[in-house]
Structure 1
Amino acid sequence: MLHYAKLDKCFWAEAAMTAIYIKNCLPSPKCQDQTPFEIVSGFRPSVKHMRVFGCRTFVLTPKEKRSKWDPKAREGLFMGYEEVSKAYRVYDIEADQVVISRDVTFDESTLGFSPMLPQEIVDDTALDIESMNISDEPHPMQFKQTGKCKSRSNSQEQVLQRTLLERRGTGLEEASAPDDSESHQAKRRSSTRDNLDKERNVSDEDNEDATPQVFWRASANAVEGTDLSEPTTFKDAVDGADQVHWRKAICAELDSMKLRGVFRATKLPSGQHTIGTKWVFKIKRKADGSIDKYKARLVAKGFKQKYGIDYTETFSPVVKYVTLRMVVSITKYFGWTLDQLDVVTAFLYGEMKEKVFCAIPEGVEVDEDFDCFELVKAIYGLKQASRVWNETFHEFVCSIGFQVSDFDPCLYVKITSGECVLLLVYVDDVLVTGSSTELIMRTKSDLKAGFEMTESGKCAFVLSIELVDNDNGSVTMCQRRYVEDVLKRFGMSDCKAVTSPTDISSRLIPSTAAAKIDAPFREAVGALMHLMTATRPGIAFAVSYVSRFMENPQVEHWMAVKRILQNLQGTKSHGICFKPDDKIDFCGYSDADWAGDHADRKSTSGYAFILMGAPVSWGSKKQSSVSLSTSEAEYIALSLTIQEGKWVHRLLCEILDAAEDKSGPELKIMEDNQSCIKMTKNPVNHGRAKHIDINYVNGHRFSTSIGNRDRSNPNRLFSLVFTT
């Protein structure tokens, strides 16, 4: 096939897959003159859509990806048939990559050519560094744009590797089903059951498309979750449809590195090693899904760093979700504004303590005297980058009069003349609020003097959380767009909604089967975990429950995850709503089931703390020991609740003290088990609790108000949400 099509051997992977596809559509004596396709699907395969391998093609460029005077199609070579969609695979000659498209016109009279694999390719988009004369001290790197520059070319092995990766679904530019054009595809088959039955008995000439419908549905779901607008390589970015935006983003990144003095060009010292770099491209979107900006990041391949040589400590704190929710509720109560700032290339501010050398990035050239860069500042991808940035920001914020909170290392408080301002930091996202507009403006000016920052105004979207102001003065925190992305990612965008995230009649147990299911179980649970910890306490128990089966998930466990996704389908806009009142109401709830895990008979603890009508902290956790009674299970859950409550209450009081509000509420926890309540109020050795060694509850019975929760109260739903 390659020889006939006059193609280079670098296309052998595409040719092999196309040959397999064709062979599966041909009769075989070993299959009693049936085709392998027919044996699997029960239908005779159609050959009307088949084309000559390697023939010339013209792929339609979508309107949104071309300007008025650009050609409507790009020339390519036919590579074969896409496995997961009703489309063709075409080698785009100009883009030098395999794309998937339904809009293809074929010229089967003209076969392709063998593309040369040059040693050097002239690239007018590359960025280089001015030639430098080395002295005793390495010179800082200097960037500039040039008209021409040499860039490294892909070897045949790299091209072949890219082809194999693309065959597995990476780097695809467009994916869709072929249209009804007779020039390149057979007509679509009717989806009705009657037509499907008729096709089983017709001849090959009449059977226009015998691929089972269920295959196309699964294929569409697989392709649907891929964001095809973000390039995966440097070449895709600077040569693609959005090259103008990506080139600006690349220049902005390199300008930031030059401004910060991130690199020093040098010769690699003897005994040292370099780590690679990679360009990462991301489209940052607004709350409504529209494009905010194009971001290009030069990241280090930190997985090549060696512990003790290239790095030591790596931990870096971020603001806790509890703190974020509490500050949002407090700002509504006092009528404060919550503004958002973003630090531009934040990691580039951190000073490196270790000597780390990196390879010359793609698209950048240096003088021949140098063969690598020494990292003076941290860059994205380094294991210690986040920690170094956090230390730098912490030192600066403290130098302008802020004090770090005792209960959250990423909450900063500043009190001046009876007025306060609060800072919340999540990596490079900074939220500012306070009682004085003047003090807030002064704080912003101080921050901008120390770091390059962009201001987004009033915070409406942070950490995938939407902040929606309602007409009644309340504020809702939800993740509607994130839920839609999760459903799309796991092929559940069109699923049927259910009212509850768990099926209380099902009993899941760990499996001893050797084989695992072919499903993205861990990825789905991880995505749900983020949603649950941020704004959706209603799925706390359901997510906690399925997370117990991460080791060896089976079909029934995957179905439980899909049920949670089905519940999200009908509750996309649900979240937590803070309603400001005359006073700050704060109350905790504790509950537990008994022997709810049918595998080891351990119980589940659940808690929630309500502030101004909405939860600010919640959790559902399997107990570490077996409880002998319901009262013991409730007692253990109450211990967990008090531990969380102490921290949440102190955090709340700290914020209120900064706001000069001395009316902080007491810590009150509601419990519905009478035996448990009596055990907490009377410090005697009850028969049901005498074996409990460390009694945390009794140690705090005088500082915590434990009340009787009315089972008829609407908050009774708490039991169903956190412990089932």
Structure 2
Amino acid sequence: MDGDFDCLELVKAIYGLKQASRVWNETFDEFVCFIGFEVSAFDPCLYIKVVDGHCVLVLVYVDDVLVTGSSLELIAQTKADLKTRFEMTDSGKCTFVLAIELVDESDGSVTMCQRRYVNDILKRFGMDECKATASPVDLSTRLVASSEAAKIDVPFREAVGALMHLTTATRPDIAYAVGYVSRFMENPQQQHWTAVKRIFRYLQGTKSHGLRFQPSDKIDFRGYSDADWAGDHADRKSTSGYTFMLMGAPVSWGSKKQSSVSLSTSEAEYIALSLAIQEGKWVHRLLCEILAAANEPGPDLVIREDNQSCIKMTKNPVNHGRAKHIDIKYHHIRDEVKRGEVQLEYCETSVMMADIMTKGLSGPRHKDLTTALGIRASSD
């Protein structure tokens, strides 16, 4: 720019600038705390208020706000208080938020699904008329990376990104499949694109599937941890998987390739258990915080494991030959178990919910686990 010009400092945030979102969060936080709410110690987007034994929760995502609680009067009062400070639209009972649909079922359960989003991405990537398949991963598929072949001209990154959003929100049944294809983002080939299209074909037959939470007088919270062994045929690294169930459906799950090569199934399971405990402690503390506000006792943190040797390794500090080489960062498991923070239970492999997070499964086995996970078709 030629000539002299003035550089002005803004005294108020403008929508679209990088500082605006932070300023908005500070403004909202200040007012919500002013009207009696406290910020959750485990989620800065959750606010909790207790009045006369009743609690009300406010959950904020950018400028979308959900208000719920044990008292309709408190909920109405909270909405009225927010409207005195912010220009807001009350959409009534929540049925659709952040591309997630909430469906009330006839038996009192609630299903969280993304059928609109699934339809949109199938159409976006030209798979809206494809033939459905029973599982998201072909058991005969052995994907390998290529450093020599030229990239194919397909929207591979866009497709994996769209699937990733679905995976993290309501579809743990495709977590492993999406994580598997995401390993080849750098130089995707035809075999990788075929694997992505296989996931789309699976979604074609399960468009309306989602997480179904069942009503109950008792808080049902439990976790599962699992791992395959040397499942990656290129570098022989294993895959960790975990899921935490609440009221009949997952509230947290993960599928992650391990950073080191495990020398035994026990070692792979031990490393996976470390990841599960880290996530489980956060979910458990958040749940207990909410229940405490509602004057309800919190459940124990119980994680189920299908490898007896792994469970013994957590309770016996003796350096066996098969375990003494394991990185010290994973041995926090022993401390958590010793202090009673985590309880480990053995379960049969046939009922291991996290198995679906670690490997591709046959159609019947995949269907059995999705049903056990509470992934059901929502009603219209």
TM-score under structure 2 length normalisation: 0.90
Aligned to 2:374: none
Question: Residues of 2 paired with 1:494 and 1:421: CA distance?
Answer: 45
Aligned to 2:359: 723
SS at match of 1:432: strand
Question: Residues of 2 paired with 1:455 and 1:489: CA distance?
Answer: 32
SS at match of 1:455: coil
Residues 60-117 of structure 1 deviation map (CA, whole Å, 9 limit, x = unaligned): xxxxxxxxxxxxxxxxxxxxxxxxxxxxxxxxxxxxxxxxxxxxxxxxxxxxxxxxxx
Residues 431-456 of structure 1 deviation map (CA, whole Å, 9 limit, x = unaligned): 00111222111111110000000000
Shift of 1:355: 2.2
SS at match of 2:272: helix
Shift of 1:582: 2.5
Which aligned segments of 4 or more residues in structure 1 are displaced greater than 4 angstroms? none
Contact 2:133 2:198 in 1 (8 A): yes
Map 1:68-147 to 2 at 5 A.
Answer: none
Aligned to 2:363: none
Residues 216-240 of structure 1 deviation map (CA, whole Å, 9 limit, x = unaligned): xxxxxxxxxxxxxxxxxxxxxxxxx
Question: Residues of 2 paired with 1:595 and 1:473: CA distance?
Answer: 43
Contact 2:172 2:253 in 1 (8 A): yes
Aligned to 1:626: 261
Q: Which of the numbers 686, 702, 706 marks the counterpart of 2:344? A: 706
Contact 1:591 1:723 in 2 (8 A): no
Amino acid at match of 2:156: F
Question: Residues of 2 paired with 1:674 and 1:269: CA distance?
Answer: 75
Aligned to 2:13: 377
Contact 2:243 2:353 in 1 (8 A): no
Map 1:33-52 to 2 at 5 A.
Answer: none
Contact 2:225 2:241 in 1 (8 A): yes
Question: Residues of 2 paired with 1:625 and 1:689: CA distance?
Answer: 14
Matched, 1:645 2:280: yes
SS at match of 2:200: helix
SS at match of 2:350: coil
Amino acid at match of 1:655: I
Shift of 1:622: 0.5
Question: Residues of 2 paired with 1:464 and 1:608: CA distance?
Answer: 22
Amino acid at match of 2:5: S
Q: Which of the numbers 417, 424, 427 marks the counterpart of 2:59? A: 424
Shift of 1:417: 1.9
Question: Residues of 2 paired with 1:444 and 1:469: CA distance?
Answer: 23
Quick check: which has more Rg, 1 or 2? Answer: 1
SS at match of 2:179: helix
Q: Which of the numbers 456, 459, 463 marks the counterpart of 2:94? A: 459
Residues 518-546 of structure 1 deviation map (CA, whole Å, 9 limit, x = unaligned): 00000000000000000000000000111
Contact 1:620 1:723 in 2 (8 A): no
Which structure shows the bigger proportion of residues in helix conformation? 2
Aligned to 1:670: 304
Contact 1:378 1:388 in 2 (8 A): no
Question: Residues of 2 paired with 1:414 and 1:697: CA distance?
Answer: 34
Shift of 1:269: 7.8
Larger deviation, residues 529-538 vs 592-601: 592-601
Amino acid at match of 2:52: S
Amino acid at match of 2:290: I
Matched, 1:500 2:135: yes
Contact 1:477 1:577 in 2 (8 A): yes
Shift of 1:498: 0.5
Matched, 1:686 2:320: yes
Shift of 1:377: 3.3
Matched, 1:697 2:351: no
Aligned to 1:590: 225
Amino acid at match of 2:67: V
Amino acid at match of 2:335: G
Structure 2 unaligned regions, length at least 5: 361-380
Amino acid at match of 2:34: S
Contact 1:588 1:668 in 2 (8 A): yes
Contact 1:602 1:624 in 2 (8 A): yes
Question: Residues of 2 paired with 1:404 and 1:516: CA distance?
Answer: 47
SS at match of 1:700: helix
Question: Residues of 1 paired with 2:279 and 2:93: CA distance?
Answer: 31
1:575–1:722 distance in 2 versus 1, CA, 3 Å: farther
Contact 2:223 2:303 in 1 (8 A): yes
Aligned to 1:390: 25
Question: Residues of 2 paired with 1:465 and 1:355: CA distance?
Answer: 40
Contact 1:589 1:607 in 2 (8 A): yes
Contact 2:242 2:357 in 1 (8 A): no
Shift of 1:383: 1.8
Contact 2:13 2:23 in 1 (8 A): no
Aligned to 2:364: none
SS at match of 1:454: coil
Contact 1:433 1:440 in 2 (8 A): yes
SS at match of 1:627: coil
Q: Which of the numbers 426, 442, 447 marks the counterpart of 2:77? A: 442
Contact 2:228 2:268 in 1 (8 A): yes
Contact 1:588 1:609 in 2 (8 A): yes
Structure 1 unaligned regions, length at least 5: 1-267, 273-353, 357-374
Aligned to 2:108: 473
SS at match of 2:108: coil
SS at match of 2:309: helix
SS at match of 2:91: strand
Residues 224-282 of structure 1 deviation map (CA, whole Å, 9 limit, x = unaligned): xxxxxxxxxxxxxxxxxxxxxxxxxxxxxxxxxxxxxxxxxxxx98253xxxxxxxxxx
Aligned to 2:181: 546
SS at match of 2:89: strand
Shift of 1:656: 0.2
Q: Which of the numbers 163, 166, 172 marks the counterpart of 1:531? A: 166
Question: Residues of 2 paired with 1:721 and 1:583: CA distance?
Answer: 27
SS at match of 2:173: helix
1:456–1:402 distance in 2 versus 1, CA, 3 Å: same
Shift of 1:683: 2.1
Aligned to 1:401: 36
Question: Residues of 2 paired with 1:515 and 1:386: CA distance?
Answer: 40
Question: Residues of 1 paired with 2:320 and 2:106: CA distance?
Answer: 52
Aligned to 2:369: none
Higher RCO (Cα < 8 Å, 6 or more apart): 2
SS at match of 1:675: helix
Shift of 1:514: 4.6
SS at match of 1:396: helix
1:643–1:671 distance in 2 versus 1, CA, 3 Å: same
Amino acid at match of 1:701: V
Aligned pair count? 354
Amino acid at match of 1:719: D
Question: Residues of 2 paired with 1:417 and 1:650: CA distance?
Answer: 23
SS at match of 2:312: helix
